[in-house]
């Protein structure tokens, strides 16, 4: 199995992309720490499902925008497993409102979770990974962070994570740690399916369908496993949509 014996942390594991990535990693042999902020019931349900597959799982509640919560999550991981091989930064916030209706509180929250939260998690695992001289860090970004969308806070936060990915890759490369990102367009999750332009966007995907969470999970698995000589890269997983992606998405 690709990730046999590896220890992975997945943030925002209770729903959507995080949930599917967690199961994909588990089926490839990883032992997992499943982080959630509010989706406790969904996360515990996933944990029970994985334990039935004889996967070692630890669930940890924590808000990635809070440094103390992230430090506690990393400590609990090291206390249980002794090392951290993979970090998958997935926790995210999206406010689907018009720019004129975006409040400062919404902006601050989106930046705090999506961008600062990713930084917190990278910074917190870096010490352990440096000691190991190895590690795989994967961030979830968005084509909206590359082209822009009307969801100003979300696009700004994901654009920041793209820059963070490239910068952290340079910082951590001397320690054998890679930092990459998976970059979907619209994903068929509860969050993605609320997009009011859903049908129009789906119709403009060259491969003829929306990205499924499983599609993104396969890309994340590649970066967590076989991608040994890639770092600072943004792996676009959108069915060829990027070149025609509308700023109205």
Which residues carry out catalysis? 154
For tokens 């403009």, the residue is 204
Separation CA 133–CA 226 (nearest Å): 17
Separation CA 82–CA 213 (nearest Å): 30
Contact 23, 218 (CB under 8 A): no
Separation CA 198–CA 72 (nearest Å): 38
Neighbours of 127 (CB within 10 A): 12
Handedness of CA 54, 60, 65, 71 (dihedral sign): negative
Q: What share of the chain is helix, strand, coil (3-state, %, to 5)?
A: 50, 15, 35
Helix (H, G, I), strand (E, B) or coil at 170: helix
DSSP assigned state of 187: B
Contact 52, 27 (CB under 8 A): no
Which pair of tokens denotes residue 37?
A: 């902020």
- For residue 200, which of 149, 249, 155 has the smallest C-alpha distance? 249
Q: End-to-end CA distance of the chain, in Å?
A: 37
Helix (H, G, I), strand (E, B) or coil at 32: strand
């Amino acid at each position: 199995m690709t990730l046999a014996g590896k220890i992975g942390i997945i943030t925002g594991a209770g729903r959507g992309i995080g949930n599917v990535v967690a199961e994909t990693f588990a089926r490839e042999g990883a032992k997992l720490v499943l982080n959630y902020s509010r989706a406790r019931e969904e996360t515990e349900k996933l944990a029970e499902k994985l334990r039935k597959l004889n996967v070692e799982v630890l669930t940890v509640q924590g808000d990635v925008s809070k440094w103390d919560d992230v430090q506690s999550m990393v400590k609990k991981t090291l206390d249980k497993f002794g090392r951290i091989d993979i970090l998958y930064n997935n926790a995210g916030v999206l406010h689907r409102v018009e720019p004129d209706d975006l409040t400062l509180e919404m902006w601050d929250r989106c930046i705090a979770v999506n961008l600062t939260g990713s930084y917190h998690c990278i910074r917190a695992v870096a010490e352990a990974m440096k000691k190991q001289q190895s590690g795989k860090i994967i961030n979830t970004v968005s084509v909206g962070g590359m082209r822009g969308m009307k969801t100003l806070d979300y696009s700004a936060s994901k654009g920041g994570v793209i820059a963070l990915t490239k910068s952290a890759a340079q910082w951590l490369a001397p320690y054998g740690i890679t930092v990459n990102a998976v970059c979907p367009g619209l994903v068929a999750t509860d969050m993605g399916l609320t997009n009011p332009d859903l049908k129009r966007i789906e119709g403009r995907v060259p491969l003829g369908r929306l990205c499924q969470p499983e599609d993104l999970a396969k890309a994340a698995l590649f970066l967590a496993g076989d991608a040994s000589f890639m770092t600072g890269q943004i792996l676009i997983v959108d069915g060829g949509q990027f070149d025609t992606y509308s700023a109205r998405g």
